[in-house]
Amino acid sequence: MNVVSLFANIGIGEAYLKSLGFDVVVANELEPRRVDIYRQIYPNTNMICGDITDKKVYSSIRKACEKQKIDVIMATPPCQGMSTAGKQDEFDVRNELFLYAVQLIKDVKPDYFIFENVPGFMTTYIKYNEEKRLIPDVIKELLRTTYSMSFNIIDTQDYGVPQSRSRMILLGTRRRVAHKWNMPESEPDVKTLEDAIGDLPILDPFVYDVSEEEMLKVFPNYKKREKAALKISPWHVPPHHILRQVITMQHTPTGCSAFDNEKYKPRKKNGEIVKGFHNTYSRQRWDVPAYTIAMSNNQISTQNSVHPGRYLGKDANGDDIYSDPRVFTVYELMRIMSIPDDWPIPTTVSKQYLRHIIGEGVPSLLIRKIFEQIQNG
């Protein structure tokens, strides 16, 4: 079956589709840098670079689709205008981008379509025909005569993804098609962070604000552990942190925030205690799915961004210390997002850039399980 991917980013959602028998024949993405990465990962896809709101770009997408028999259109429009993590500006123009996907559905007439976005998609208003309208109501008005639709608010942890991430999934089936596309059944056994990355050995952070000699006093096994990590994956590289944050997190137990430390609270360079929320400077837990991976996932000070760590014993002062006082590596983030270990990301991509992209993505395994429901028909 042939698929079109709109707002494709670098194709995280598409990672398993080829193995299922779905061929992404046309894709569109705005940013040239992402387009270049996508083309390297999916060289056989006709990736069209440009703004879908541009008439010439939209025409190119439509014409490319008309050359193929398109079975599925997948659209993952930007969510920053409606996300709780964004500014939530009323009538953010990005909130109207779904209309171009709807128009392509009307033009191409696939048997199925899927929209993926944040739950706020359901409660966001746009100006449509000079009226203030909810996005779902506009979609229903435009497509309900031709498609049956289901709007679903789900948590990815209910579908085998080792991450709690709330999403809106809209599935549409053309009314003349006998097999209706529905969400898979939720799964009773959730995958935990231990399931996702618990097999990986201890990895120390790289401390960049002190000399190598001073760093090796804190982490005498750093070089050996770094070498072992690189054998696992070129993306399993020690994150870079400053010493005072590392020391704070060394003394923060699994599942706790450093703000709970009596002795090792987060401090500024001048010694003042940092002010912040208790989900910052915070280690995740092994026994539950990971918290939502955000775009800013490279700093210890961001929300729930620190590796759970393992208890190591007492330090020279008799205080409890824990391993991995760092954020997740890119490779660990990939596992948490259920991206295949062998997904062929070009090694020339900046790790920082990839971190940002992963934080925007839709878990690969979720999309795989949703597309399997078409096959099951």
Active site residues: 79
Which residue is associated with the tokens 């990986």?
Answer: 200
Task: Please tell me the number of Cα atoms within 13 Å of 89 on its side-chain side.
Answer: 8
Please report, as a single letter, which amino acid is at residue 234: P
> CA–CA separation, 112 vs 95, rounded Å?
22
**Nearest CA to 308 among 343, 331, 284, 292?**
284
Contact 260, 232 (CB under 8 A): no
3-state secondary structure of 315: coil
3-state secondary structure of 340: coil
Q: How would DSSP label each residue in 86-130? A: S---TT-GGGGTHHHHHHHHHHH--SEEEEEE-GGGGG-EEEETT
Which residue is associated with the tokens 């590596």?
Answer: 329
Tokens standing for 50? 């440009």
- Quick count: other Cβ atoms within 10 Å of Cβ 181? 24
Which residue is associated with the tokens 């062998």?
Answer: 342
Residues 6+ apart with CB under 8 A from 310: 202, 254, 322, 323, 324
- Quick count: other Cβ atoms within 10 Å of Cβ 165? 21
Please report, as a single letter, which amino acid is at residue 305: S
Residues 6+ apart with CB under 8 A from 323: 202, 204, 309, 310, 311, 312
DSSP symbol at 259:
G
